[in-house]
Amino acid sequence: MHPSLAETQESSIIWVLVAGGSRAQIYRYHRHKELMPMRDSKRKPYEQEEKRHELTPIAGMGFEAEPLTDFHVGHDSRGSKIGGARPGHNTCEPHLDIHDEVKRNLVKLIADKVKHACETQQFDKLVIAASPKILGALRQHLGAGVLSRIIAEIDKDFTNDKTHALLGHLQKTLMEAHVA
């Protein structure tokens, strides 16, 4: 590997967006090396280099969907429809799926924050781990600048999992993307 490319990879800021249908969190991915004191069979001390990977939540980058009880649905007047099986006007309620609307609002909020962070150069590379539907919706709302910084995508929702489960998948994905 070219030395300047290795230095760039070591110093680049990698963000990991973990999103689901009701919440999301953005983490900073750290990879550092530690020297671990060891002893061989003859009791000679030596140090072994060990790579550590960790995720640190970024302040202000946690997202929660609005509660369904706070989501106002309804109109002052009903819509009307002409036609149907009987002559005359029929009234109907407009169709609105509250769950889909809440997810769309969450995705839009996440995309706006990530686009702003990209414009202010707060990260160099982005990894997205989200359910397939949320991943597709995010792709539609993220700008070209953010899309160019995405180095890997994991189509699984890790919002309810422990960090170490995400780290295992993340290490594998980053190695496949030749970043780790």
Let me know: does 170 contact 127? Beta carbons within 8 Å. Answer: yes
Q: Residue 149: which of 121, 112, 178 has the closest Cα?
A: 121
The 3-state secondary structure of 15-74, one letter per residue: EEEEECCCEEEEEEEEEEEEEEEEECCCCCEEEEEEEEEEEEEEEEEEEECCCCCCCCCC
Element (H, E) at 9: helix 3-11
Let me know: does 27 contact 62? Beta carbons within 8 Å. Answer: no
**Residues linked to residue 38 through DSSP beta bridges, in sequence order:** 46
Q: Residue 17: which of 118, 112, 140, 110 has the closest Cα?
A: 110
Instruction: Say what the pLDDT of residue 108 is.
Output: 94
| 20's tokens | 């689901």
What's the average pLDDT block by block, 10 residues per block, for the chain (180 residues)? 41 89 90 69 68 84 81 50 55 65 90 94 93 92 93 88 79 73
Structural domains in the chain?
A: 13-35+47-68+80-176 (3.30.420.60)
Instruction: Say what the pLDDT of residue 178 is.
Output: 65
Instruction: Say what the pLDDT of residue 84 is.
Output: 55
The model's pTM = 0.71
Instruction: Say what the pLDDT of residue 7 is.
Output: 40
Let me know: does 170 contact 129? Beta carbons within 8 Å. Answer: yes
